Amino acid sequence: MDLSIPSPLSKASPPSTFLSSQSHKLPRSPCVHYLNFTSRNSSLKKPLVSRQTLPIRAQLSDQTVDDGFALDDVPHLTNFLPDLPSYPNPLQQSQAYAIVKQTFVRPEDVVAQKIVVHKDSPRGVHFRRAGPREKVYFKSEEVRACIVTCGGLCPGINTVIREIVCGLNYMYGVDDILGIQGGYRGFYSKNTLPLTPKVVNDIHKRGGTFLRTSRGGHDTHKIVDNIQDRGINQVYIIGGDGTQRGAARIYEEVEKRGLQVAVAGIPKTIDNDIAVIDKSFGFDTAVEEAQRAIDAAHVEVESVENGIGIVKLMGRYSGFIAMFATLASRDVDCCLIPESPFYLEGKGGLFEFIEERLKENRHIVIVVAEGAGQEYVAQSMHGIDEKDASGNRLLLDVGLWLTQNIKDHFTKERKMEINMKYIDPTYMIRAIPSNASDNIYCTLLAQSAVHGAMAGYTGFTVGPVNSRHAYIPISHVTETQNTVKLTDRMWARLLASTNQPSFLNCDEAIGGKVCKDTIDLINNMKITSI
């Protein structure tokens, strides 16, 4: 007799049934190689650094031909400088690494992008594992490195700068390190600062960027001319997806000129919207600091009658900060993110939900990501469309718009007395130093970048993939953005925590117009896995 009881979740309506079940497929990368694991005892004699557009085979293990693994490889200086000599890694003489069981990463070590593989699913892409190699392609005394930071502020930038400098100096004996001040413009405006471990000793305790930053100003030819004129042979670029696209262009120009210059990217975005990697640095700090704003809003609205608190958090296209801050807080009644459009009026709309919560609890806290509801805000502002120096669309203030609409609805239409509290902690969160976990994470990113550049890899970015740091082609992290997947369990956990509706019931939306617009909007989005 079968005494099992079906799970109540089997009858639960999915939060976003209108989404296509097909996963987003990335275009084939020109660096993807297919590894055929055919020999257990064989190993690579030199790194797989060919940039052929056709798949090549490499013998690494004992799987069958049909079980090929795709390696999304990163370029190497020997691709266009085949006679480049190699040298023993100075870490062989390092006391710090003397007790490490395996000091050097083997050439055949890879990191899987997918660790959960279903029976009939493809194997998925692999990346080169990050870490020190037995051979390096730069003599320590010949290295002239530079570091540049671009784009918006983010907790942890100074830690990355510090650890690149200390990593180059302490691990590889590099003394010649320059800081490019003011973003990409600093290359050709000659704004530089010599960097030593002493100079950067305590900068990790400060927010912002020690080197200053800017948006835009990318002129590839001027930048590479300056790199060549100054004799720079290692370039470390800290920035978001726009900055990384600029890094890719610098690498391409360096390769075109045949220069021995390693270009390494360190992905930076507080929104956590960089594709492929597990998370971006500064994200943990941002979520932690967002709690202060949410706590303040909760205290305010709990202390008055019909208190409505709105906290606007960062998240231009991705709602990760809002989602994780909501889950961590447990004081939030509703979370609105760009990936999940909503409507205000009618049955199942936001206004109805707010009124129900006010009747039940006499207060409500709403967290809204800055990119949420922009289609509605733009309509009310007559389609204002401006961009910043980096080409990013300037967002209208959804927090103020939402506050005004809620106030008008309840005071004018519903004739209810409410107390509105609006908090925007954006710049407070961006400007603080990184917390303990982000400091450790930034150290790993910086050291991984240093190891990769010294080993001759170029045109790569670094980051954790399934908790293992890897070297990823820059083009791979700029092809798409990481967004909250509404069909993922994490979003379902949030809905279960707040008990908010999905605001996406098409049959009950007024006239169906708003709902159709939201469906069209979602269908045009790039939805990738969290």
Q: Is 152 annotated as a binding-site member?
A: yes
DSSP type of residue 405: H
Q: Is 196 annotated as a binding-site member?
A: no
Q: Is 207 annotated as a binding-site member?
A: no
Q: Is 319 annotated as a binding-site member?
A: no
Do residues 377 and 345 lie in contact, with contact meaning Cβ atoms separated by under 8 Å?
no
- Residues 223, 252: Cα–Cα separation, whole Å: 12
Q: Is 428 annotated as a binding-site member?
A: yes
Q: Is 512 annotated as a binding-site member?
A: no
Strands of 334-336's sheet, edge to edge?
Answer: 334-336, 363-369, 307-313, 419-423
- CB within 8 Å of 115: residues ≥ 6 apart: 466
Structure tokens at 500: 């908010």
Q: Is 429 annotated as a binding-site member?
A: yes
Q: Is 265 annotated as a binding-site member?
A: no
In our burial notation (b when 16+ CB lie closer than 10 A, e otherwise), range 115-154 reads eeeeeeeebebbbbbbbbbebbbbebeebbbbbbbbbbbb
- CB within 8 Å of 250: residues ≥ 6 apart: 220, 223, 224, 227, 235, 237, 263
Q: What is the DSSP string of 312-375?
A: EE--SS--HHHHHHHHHHS--SEEE-TTS----SSTTSHHHHHHHHHHHHSEEEEEEETTTTHH
Structure tokens at 33: 């190689």
Q: Is 269 annotated as a binding-site member?
A: yes
- Report the Cα 26 to chain-centroid distance in Å: 17
Q: Is 315 annotated as a binding-site member?
A: yes
The verdict on whether 271 is a catalytic residue reads: yes
- Residues 108, 94: Cα–Cα separation, whole Å: 24
Beta bridge partners of 33: 71
Structure tokens at 308: 């409505």
Do residues 242 and 392 lie in contact, with contact meaning Cβ atoms separated by under 8 Å?
yes
Structure tokens at 210: 């020690």
Q: Is 316 annotated as a binding-site member?
A: yes
Q: Is 352 annotated as a binding-site member?
A: no
Q: Is 284 annotated as a binding-site member?
A: no
Residue of 73, 176, 271, 284 marked catalytic: 271
Instruction: Give the residue numbers of the binding site for substrate.
Output: 269-271, 314-316, 370, 427-430
Instruction: Give the residue numbers of the binding site for Mg(2+).
Output: 241
Q: Which residues are catalytic?
A: 271
Instruction: Give the residue numbers of the binding site.
Output: 152, 215-216, 240-243, 269-271, 314-316, 370, 427-430
Instruction: Give the residue numbers of the binding site for ATP.
Output: 152, 215-216, 240-243
